[in-house]
Structure 1
Amino acid sequence: MSSFNGFNENVIAEFRANAGKVGGPFEGAELLLLTTTGARSGTPHTVPLGYLRDGGTPLVVASAAGADRHPAWYHNLLARPLVRVETGTEEYEAVALPAAGARRDELFAQVVRAEPGYGEYQERTARVIPVVALQRTHEAPAPEEEGGIAGKLLSVHGWLRVQLAHVRELAADGAREAGARGDGVASIGLQLRQHCLAFCHALEFHHRSEDAGLFPYLEQQHPHMREFFRRLDAEHRVIARLQEELVRALGAREGFSERVERLSRELEGHLDREEAQLLPVLRALGA
């Protein structure tokens, strides 16, 4: 295992030093670097992977050379779907979305047509080899391209609103399908699960960052706003509880749509109140 890790580290170093170009067994191959967060450790792990594209979206294949177990990076992205992608020219955040059912079969056939070796890997194992789309996260621009800390806050809030809207849309689609079937139980597909987890992890990180850094600093500069920051802290705790309930509902399936709607109402109100009070202060700070 240590020799394999050492090989990967050398490939990663060469990739980053040469704008994505590497030699050896990967010479001429389309490679990207995928950084996941350890499902148990919480630490970042980077691996070099070959990839293809479905339109403009990179696809990676959890083949593990036909082994009977999924690679560690695949388990990581199931637990924490927000990943970092590096190509030869850019680096960006993405949501990792494993394809399911007929869509997976369609994409895998597309992969095998381009790279027949993946078909040989599938023949070696009874497991269904996953195909994962790396969907670039939506960067919601701040109004009028506002800069500084105010612009960053608006950009993060915009991204959270877009992701939550997408989760609500996917949940509504599942509820409509359940109604059409007549069983009343909405299906939690991989797309909904991954987007929901990505949104929840990003929101949790954002609120922790505010609580540990931005809010104490602003309160020190503006002590008259102390009570406002106490209210924001209380709202963060309410939203955190609703997030936990939402994630638990991914396994229970029942009541998921209702929990999405409740979290949406709480979060939208919270973001609106935060922006109304903080943006003038942040704009005064400038860059």
Structure 2
Amino acid sequence: MSFNQAVIEEFRANAGKVGGPFEGAELVLLTTTGARSGREHTAPLGCVRGPGGQGVYVVGSAAGSDRHPDWYHNLLARPLVRVEAGTEDYEAVAVPAEGARREELFAHVVREEPGYGEYQRKTRRVIPVVELQRTHGAGSEEGGVAGMVVRVHGWLRTQIGEILRLPAGEAAAPVGMQLRQHCLAFCQTLDAHHTGEDAGLFPWLAGQHPQLAGFFRRLGDEHREMARMQQELGEALRRDQGGAVRRELEVLGRRLLAHLDREEAELLPVLRALGA
């Protein structure tokens, strides 16, 4: 068993408490999705509370190595992560701090944990400070597939609303890391949701209710149209143009909200009638 795996198992068996070199330290388990492999990877990391105890931050120190840790590369590509802290287990968007904010936070980190200052002195790279921003979706006590659909749709509605409230800057202004990471996390979830519906849920329901096959084809067409919009949003992110990102988000958001309303109106009664 690897050292990390032993720490992970001890953490989970003891409500986040571990011994050895980490005894007394505040740890989280951070699960990222591989940028290339698409597989989940869990790493035990020291964490620091932000100024005034607000926010949870992890630091990409890699013990002062000249390379960023793998988990950092993963979250740049797929910002939606899972965080285990003590007995809590929650989803978050990982957002690296930028510019003056990063300098302020790193100074705070070093005051709290001076070893990070030594790691920075060992390398020329700027050690990242990453905030783990908890996501919030609409809750539902309903069980089964219907409840799952309601919860995912609630998450998507909540996230698109929050993203559209983030500043995008002037038309040609660079896209800030906050907006970039939340956009990518949103698209990550939307892709997974639509793929699951197209490959599993819709074919199964069409088998149960053949008269709805045309409706499911129309939903599939809408999924493909939104996938095209996501590609355009991704291009705007790559061009690093805040104004273009905002325009693409607004168009995608309007289309998505109408799609979710239409899907729920037809789909939820069918799922509930089936007891699914």
TM-score range, shorter chain: over 0.9
Runs of 4+ in 1 over 4 A off after TM superposition: none
User: Are 1:123 and 2:121 an aligned pair?
Assistant: yes
User: Are 1:138 and 2:136 an aligned pair?
Assistant: yes
Name the structure 1 match of 2:14: 18
Query: What letter matches 1:39 in structure 2?
Result: A
Name the structure 2 match of 1:191: 178
Q: After TM superposition, list the pairs within 5 Å mapping 1:70-219 onto structure 2.
A: 70-142=68-140, 145-170=141-166, 173-175=167-169, 178=170, 184-219=171-206
Name the structure 2 match of 1:247: 234
For residues 137 and 257 of structure 2, what CA distance do their matches in structure 1 show? 18
Which digits, 9 at most, give the CA deviation of each residue in 1:118-176, with x for residues without a partner? 1111111111111111111112224xx44433222121111111111222222xx224x
User: Are 1:268 and 2:257 an aligned pair?
Assistant: yes
For residues 194 and 54 of structure 2, what CA distance do their matches in structure 1 show? 32
Structure 2 contact 137–156 (Cα < 8 Å) conserved: no
For residues 64 and 222 of structure 1, what CA distance do their matches in structure 2 show? 54
Which digits, 9 at most, give the CA deviation of each residue in 1:44-90, with x for residues without a partner? 11110011122353210001111111111101000000111112202
SS in 2 for 1:186: coil
Name the structure 2 match of 1:233: 220
Name the structure 2 match of 1:7: 3
Query: What letter matches 1:258 in structure 2?
Result: R
Identify the range of structure 1 (258-267 vs 65-74) with the bigger mean alpha-carbon deviation: 258-267
For residues 73 and 205 of structure 2, what CA distance do their matches in structure 1 show? 39
Runs of 5+ in structure 1 lacking a partner? 179-183
SS in 1 for 2:168: helix
Name the structure 2 match of 1:259: 248
User: Are 1:221 and 2:208 an aligned pair?
Assistant: yes
For residues 265 and 149 of structure 2, what CA distance do their matches in structure 1 show? 12
Query: What letter matches 2:194 in structure 1?
Result: H
Amino-acid identity (%):
67
For residues 109 and 280 of structure 1, what CA distance do their matches in structure 2 show? 54
Identify the range of structure 1 (192-201 vs 62-71) with the bigger mean alpha-carbon deviation: 62-71
For residues 122 and 113 of structure 2, what CA distance do their matches in structure 1 show? 16
Instruction: Compute the TM-score of the two structures, normalised by the length of structure 1.
Output: 0.90
For residues 124 and 138 of structure 2, what CA distance do their matches in structure 1 show? 42
Runs of 5+ in structure 2 lacking a partner? none
Query: What letter matches 1:267 in structure 2?
Result: L
Identify the range of structure 1 (43-52 vs 250-259) with the bigger mean alpha-carbon deviation: 250-259
SS in 2 for 1:83: strand
For residues 193 and 179 of structure 2, what CA distance do their matches in structure 1 show? 21
Query: What letter matches 2:168 in structure 1?
Result: G
Identify the range of structure 1 (68-77 vs 260-269) with the bigger mean alpha-carbon deviation: 260-269
For residues 111 and 54 of structure 2, what CA distance do their matches in structure 1 show? 18
RMSD: 1.5
For residues 39 and 169 of structure 1, what CA distance do their matches in structure 2 show? 27
For residues 252 and 45 of structure 1, what CA distance do their matches in structure 2 show? 29
Name the structure 2 match of 1:68: 66
SS in 2 for 1:207: helix
For residues 247 and 206 of structure 1, what CA distance do their matches in structure 2 show? 18
Which digits, 9 at most, give the CA deviation of each residue in 1:149-205, with x for residues without a partner? 3222121111111111222222xx224xx2xxxxx4132010000000000010000
For residues 157 and 186 of structure 1, what CA distance do their matches in structure 2 show? 31
Structure 2 contact 137–159 (Cα < 8 Å) conserved: no
